[in-house]
């Protein structure tokens, strides 16, 4: 049995906001694949859970007339993998969803949970960041929309307040149109694993030159990061093996990996370089680069 005191089932979004406001010990459980594992590991005094499974609108993936894609927080990885809007416009996010854990987990685990709990290894966080997503946070006290770049505050710590729900993730047309991307999850196994390094790269070409390159890394620092140095350096460069190799080297300057028993700093730096290069090579190929 899981160790918590009370369970609320929110039937509507308004009800969910109300429950959170009135019950300061209540935490949202989405797919459960993170929080239930956490509860099993450690006792959290006074914990109460609120389920949001029954709120249909939170599962929606849609695109509006301006081309902004909206992904509901309760969209599972399995949905990301198979949704037509995602596979057509932002396929890299779908592929990232397709390498999280194992297939059974992908049927229940959600993008909202993946982003909101702030795990540095979250496979979708890098794509969400590479596409410069906006995150919509709603509460009984009002709603706000923040840029993903302002979202991560520290290891496992994000800018979601106790009374807020990360309801959706928005990606604007200008952030995906014309881009091609590749996500590399480097891990010890091909399934059921967490990344030693997650590397999401998208690029846009102008002729055979990079007009925009975005490199987002997971497990390369305390929170998911973007490689500003490498991205700035890349702009305007010809698509060549030498240039891509140099961009990968620059990405290492942006990374802040540390030594852990899972992998050393030096090795993670090697992975940053190699995975950035390989992902960018693939992304450039998809964009028609030579």
The beta-strand segments (E) located in the chain are 6-9, 26-29, 48-51, 61-63, 69-72, 134-139, 142-147, 152-154, 157-158, 165-171, 180-186, 197-206, 209-218, 225-226
Q: Least separation, in Å, of the C-beta of 273 and another protein?
A: 8
**Segment near another protein (CB under 8 A), from 139-147, 212-220, 230-238, 263-271?**
263-271
Minimum CB separation of residue 192 from another protein in Å reads: 5
* Alpha-carbon gap, residue 112 to 205, rounded angstroms: 31
Q: Least distance to another protein from the beta carbon of 58, Å?
A: 14
Q: Which positions from 53 through 92 interact with another protein, judged by CB under 8 A?
A: 53, 78
Closer residue to another protein in complex, CB, 4/210:
4
Nearer to another protein, 153 or 191 (CB): 191
18-57 residues in contact with another protein (CB under 8 A) are 29, 32-33, 36-37, 40, 43, 51, 53
Q: Which string of DSSP letters, residue by residue, matches 171-187?
A: E-GGGTTT-EEEEEEE-
Query: Do the beta carbons of residue 165 and residue 76 sit within 8 Å?
Result: no
Q: Which stretch binds another protein (CB under 8 A): 58-66, 87-95, 190-198, 236-244?
A: 190-198
List CB contacts of 171: < 8 A, sequence separation 6 or more: 68, 69, 71, 90, 131, 132, 133, 134
Choosing from 203, 271, 280, 283, the residue that interacts with another protein (CB under 8 A) is: 271
Helix (H, G, I), strand (E, B) or coil at 113: helix
Report how many residues bind another protein under the rule CB under 8 A.
43
**CA torsion 267→272→278→280, rounded to 10°?**
180
Tokens encoding 128: 């969400």
CA distance 100 to 187: 11
Identify which of residues 77 and 152 has a Cβ nearer to another protein in the complex.
77
Of residues 95-114, which lie at the interface with another protein (CB under 8 A)? 101-105, 107-108
Site string for another protein, 229-258 (x = CB under 8 A): ------------------------------
Q: Provide the minimum distance between the beta carbon of 36 and another protein in the complex, in angstroms, as a whole number.
A: 5
Residue 29 token pair:
């459980």
Partners of 26 in the beta sheet?
Answer: 48
Q: Which of 263, 272, 284, 287 binds another protein (CB under 8 A)?
A: 263
* Per CB under 8 A, 221 contacts another protein: no
* CA-to-CA separations, 227 to 25, 28, 233, 276, 283, in angstroms, rounded: 37, 32, 10, 10, 16
Map residues 147-186 to x or -, x wherever contact with another protein holds by CB under 8 A. ---------------------------------------x
Binding site for another protein (CB under 8 A): 1-4, 6-7, 9, 29, 32-33, 36-37, 40, 43, 51, 53, 78, 101-105, 107-108, 186, 188-194, 196, 261-264, 266-267, 270-271, 274-275
């Amino acid at each position: 049995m899981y160790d918590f005191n009370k369970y609320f089932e929110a039937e509507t979004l308004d009800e969910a906001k109300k429950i959170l406001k009135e019950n300061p010990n209540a935490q949202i459980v989405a797919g459960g694949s993170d929080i239930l594992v956490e509860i099993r590991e450690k006792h959290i005094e006074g914990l109460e859970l609120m389920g949001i499974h029954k709120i249909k609108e939170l599962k929606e993936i849609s695109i509006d007339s301006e081309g902004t894609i909206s992904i509901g927080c309760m969209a599972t990885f399995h949905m990301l993998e198979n949704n037509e809007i995602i596979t057509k416009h932002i396929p890299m996010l779908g592929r990232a969803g397709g390498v999280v854990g194992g297939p059974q987990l992908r049927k229940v685990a959600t993008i909202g949970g993946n982003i909101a709990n702030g795990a540095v290894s979250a496979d979708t966080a890098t794509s969400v960041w590479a596409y410069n997503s906006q995150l919509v946070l709603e509460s009984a006290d009002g709603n706000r929309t923040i840029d993903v770049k302002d979202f991560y505050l520290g290891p496992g710590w994000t800018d979601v307040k106790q009374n807020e729900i990360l309801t959706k993730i928005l990606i604007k047309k200008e952030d995906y149109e014309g881009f091609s991307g590749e996500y590399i999850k480097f891990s010890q196994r091909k399934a059921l694993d967490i990344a030693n390094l997650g590397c999401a790269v998208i690029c846009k070409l102008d002729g055979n030159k990079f007009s925009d390159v975005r490199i987002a890394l997971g497990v390369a620092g305390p929170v998911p990061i973007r490689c500003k140095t490498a991205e700035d350096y890349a702009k305007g460069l010809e698509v060549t093996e030498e240039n891509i190799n140099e961009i990968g080297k620059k990405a290492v300057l942006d990374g802040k990996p540390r030594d852990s028993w899972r992998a050393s700093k030096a090795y993670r730096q090697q992975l940053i370089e190699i995975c950035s290069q390989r992902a960018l090579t693939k992304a450039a190929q998809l964009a028609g680069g030579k």
